[in-house]
């Protein structure tokens, strides 16, 4: 692989542009008045062999802000549709984002480099195509946190302030996020063409997506059926991973569901504090469609919409295609349960698959719900409770009523005796499954307030450093604390 030279900061190698013109709009980002680099992800830069000094130069900042487009790429805005809160919108698309180009990582895989907040496109729908700085900071922190928790996610390369303001509920400074994703192909991308009965384009998109994300099935007898199966499996695993860290996406529309199996589009998302399956953070989700506990069901619904789009590719006979699809979709729940149970069992130190596990898991979650304990800290302090009596007492202090907990704890420790590991080893392994630090809502809001109101990025930087090692002890222990009652933020907004 050629190393990027300083004179050519990005070595673009674009393929999406080779798809038909009805897949996108060729468009350059709209320049901003006074771009300023606020945050650069050095680790991610190195992963893509990008020269950090060059990215920080005037030329680098001009490219990251969209003020200058390199000669070796053709920017575009992708078209897609989507089911939003269950209602179909036949055309959405990148209304405030531009895919600058594709770059190759050290692992040889292809990734999109996209500017968010880069100005109007033909898909903006009366919007200004810009983003306030606050949501840019939120996505940067959230996406990086997810990555270090080991959950597939888009990542953030940089934050740029634009020197301009945007008008939302109030006037706010503008920002541009440079986002990197394995692709920006969504279920909604398929829905756009299927809604128009443009079956040729659906096939072209499917073939392109398989070649890019699932090349191992290219020569298979029914690659489209396998394409569906692969997508079902990756999404079942993704949602299980979300829920095992208490993450709530908040807006699981089909246009926010990435075919690659990555977490994408961090809008009104949040990590749950007190355990409650009905928890909702999105201000507009008044009926709880995208609540914590609904996420598996919604993902299955989204996948059914994807299956409808490619059914004719799976089998030309509609009846036969439906049978195949129903059989594939019916495996989602089983797959989700497998991923969820394995992960939450390990969070409880139950590494051997035994019949007692399920009852211990369900009873523990029931107690957490009844006692309104913090999801993250309860699991973490349970891990530490095996280390000594003092830490055991700290775990018990999380609960108001210790009677049911004592019975459960005794049953749990009795079950641990059947593991092949010592209790010390189990505690060590549990701590690697139960994070101490997550990007809590109140912390992110303080980060945003400091950065936007006071131009102070110190808390953003401190929090990001802590989140790089979420399972390890850090002196900045206050970042692990749940919000105080007056700090608890129960609603989040897309804000873009």
Domain-by-domain residue ranges, the chain? 16-187, 350-431
The structure tokens listed for 239 are 């949602």
> If you search the block for the tokens 């053709």, which residue do you land on?
74
> What pLDDT does residue 496 have?
53
Q: Tokens 């290219």, residue?
A: 218
Q: Could you tell me which residues are beta bridge partners of residue 165?
A: 173
Q: Are 371 and 384 in contact (CB under 8 A)?
A: no
Q: Which residues contact 280 (CB under 8 A, 6 or more apart)?
A: 248, 250, 288, 290, 291, 292
Note the pLDDT tens digit of each residue in 415-450: 999 999 999 999 999 999 999 999 999 999 999 999
Q: Is the dihedral of CA 483, 485, 487, 493 positive or negative?
A: positive
Residue with tokens 């394409």: 227
Cβ atoms < 10 Å from Cβ of 319: 8
Going from the C-alpha of 168 to that of each of 174, 266, 368, 452, 494, the distances in angstroms are 11, 18, 38, 15, 11
Distance CA 157, CA 151 (A): 17
Question: Is 276 an active-site residue?
Answer: no
Model-level pTM?
0.95
pLDDT at position 169 is 83
Alpha carbons 113 and 99: distance in angstroms, whole number: 6
Whether 172 and 133 have beta carbons less than 8 Å apart is answered as: yes
Q: What are phi and psi of 97, to 5 degrees?
A: -140, 150
pLDDT tens for the chain, 496 residues long, are 444 444 589 999 999 999 999 999 999 999 999 999 999 999 999 999 999 999 999 999 999 999 999 999 999 999 999 999 999 999 999 999 999 999 999 999 999 999 999 999 999 988 999 999 999 999 999 999 999 999 999 999 999 999 999 998 889 999 999 999 999 999 999 999 999 999 999 999 999 999 999 999 999 999 999 999 999 999 999 999 999 999 999 999 999 999 999 999 998 999 999 999 999 988 888 888 999 999 999 999 999 999 999 999 999 999 999 999 999 999 999 999 999 999 999 999 999 999 999 999 999 999 999 999 999 999 999 999 999 999 999 999 999 988 889 999 999 999 999 999 999 999 999 999 999 999 999 999 999 999 999 999 999 999 999 999 999 999 999 999 999 988 888 777 655 5
**Using an 8 Å Cβ cutoff, are 380 and 436 in contact?**
yes
Question: Do residues 378 and 369 make contact, with C-beta atoms less than 8 angstroms apart?
Answer: no
List 132's β-bridge partners, or say none.
Answer: 174
210-253, pLDDT tens digit by residue?
Answer: 999 999 999 999 999 999 999 999 999 999 999 999 999 999 99
Quick one: which of 177, 21, 186 has its CA closest to 97? 177
Catalytic residue chosen out of the listed positions 94, 112, 229, 255: 255
102, β-bridge pairs: 112
Going by C-alpha positions, the residue among 2, 21, 19 that lies closest to residue 183 is 19
DSSP letter, residue 293: G
Q: Which of 458, 460, 437, 436 is nearest to 447 (CA)?
A: 460
Torsion of CA 28, 31, 35, 38, to 10 degrees: -40
Question: Which pLDDT tens digit goes with each residue over 442-486?
Answer: 999 999 999 999 999 999 999 999 999 999 999 999 999 999 988
């Amino acid at each position: 692989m050629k190393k990027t030279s300083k004179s050519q900061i990005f070595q673009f190698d674009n393929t999406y542009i080779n798809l038909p013109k009805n897949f996108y709009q060729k468009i350059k980002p709209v320049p901003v008045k006074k771009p300023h680099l606020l945050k650069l992800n050095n680790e991610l830069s190195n992963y893509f062999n990008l020269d950090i000094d060059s990215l920080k130069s005037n030329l680098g900042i001009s490219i990251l802000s969209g003020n200058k487009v390199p000669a070796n790429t053709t920017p575009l805005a992708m078209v897609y549709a989507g089911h939003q809160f269950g209602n179909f919108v036949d055309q959405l698309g990148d209304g405030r984002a531009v895919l600058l180009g594709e770059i190759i990582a050290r692992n040889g895989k292809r990734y999109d480099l996209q500017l968010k907040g880069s100005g109007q496109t033909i898909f903006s729908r009366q919007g200004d195509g810009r983003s306030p700085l606050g949501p840019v900071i939120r996505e940067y922190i959230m996406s990086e946190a997810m990555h270090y928790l080991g959950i597939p996610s888009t990542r953030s390369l940089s934050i740029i302030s634009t020197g301009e303001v945007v008008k939302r509920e109030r006037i706010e400074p503008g920002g541009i996020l440079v986002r990197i994703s394995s692709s920006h192909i969504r279920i909604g991308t398929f829905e756009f063409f299927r809604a128009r009965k443009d079956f040729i384009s659906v096939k072209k998109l499917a073939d392109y997506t398989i070649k890019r994300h699932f090349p191992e099935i290219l020569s298979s007898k029914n690659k489209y059926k396998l394409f569906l199966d692969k997508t079902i499996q990756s999404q079942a695993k993704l949602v299980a991973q979300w829920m095992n860290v208490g993450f709530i996406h908040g807006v699981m529309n089909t246009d926010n569901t990435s075919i690659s199996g990555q977490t994408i589009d961090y809008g009104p998302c949040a990590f749950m504090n007190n355990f409650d399956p009905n928890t909702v953070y999105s201000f507009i989700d008044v009926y709880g469609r995208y609540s914590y506990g609904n996420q598996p069901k919604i993902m299955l619904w989204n996948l059914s919409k994807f299956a409808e789009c490619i059914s004719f590719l799976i089998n030309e006979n509609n009846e036969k295609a439906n049978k195949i699809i129903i059989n594939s979709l019916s495996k989602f729940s089983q797959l989700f349960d497998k991923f969820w149970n394995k992960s939450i069992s390990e969070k409880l130190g139950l590494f051997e698959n035994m019949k007692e596990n399920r009852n211990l898991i369900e009873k523990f979650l029931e107690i957490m719900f009844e006692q309104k304990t913090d999801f993250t800290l309860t699991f973490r302090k349970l891990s530490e409770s095996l280390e000594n009596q003092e830490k055991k007492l700290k775990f018990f202090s999380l609960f108001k009523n210790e009677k049911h907990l004592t019975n459960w704890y005794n049953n749990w420790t009795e079950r641990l005796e059947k593991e092949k590991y010592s209790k010390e080893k189990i505690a060590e392994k549990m701590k690697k499954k139960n994070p101490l630090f997550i990007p809590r809502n109140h912390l992110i809001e303080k980060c945003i307030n400091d950065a936007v109101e006071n131009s102070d990025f110190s808390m953003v930087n401190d929090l990001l450093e802590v989140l790089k090692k979420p399972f390890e002890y850090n002196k900045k222990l206050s970042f692990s604390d749940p919000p105080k009652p007056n700090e608890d933020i129960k609603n989040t907004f897309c804000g873009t």
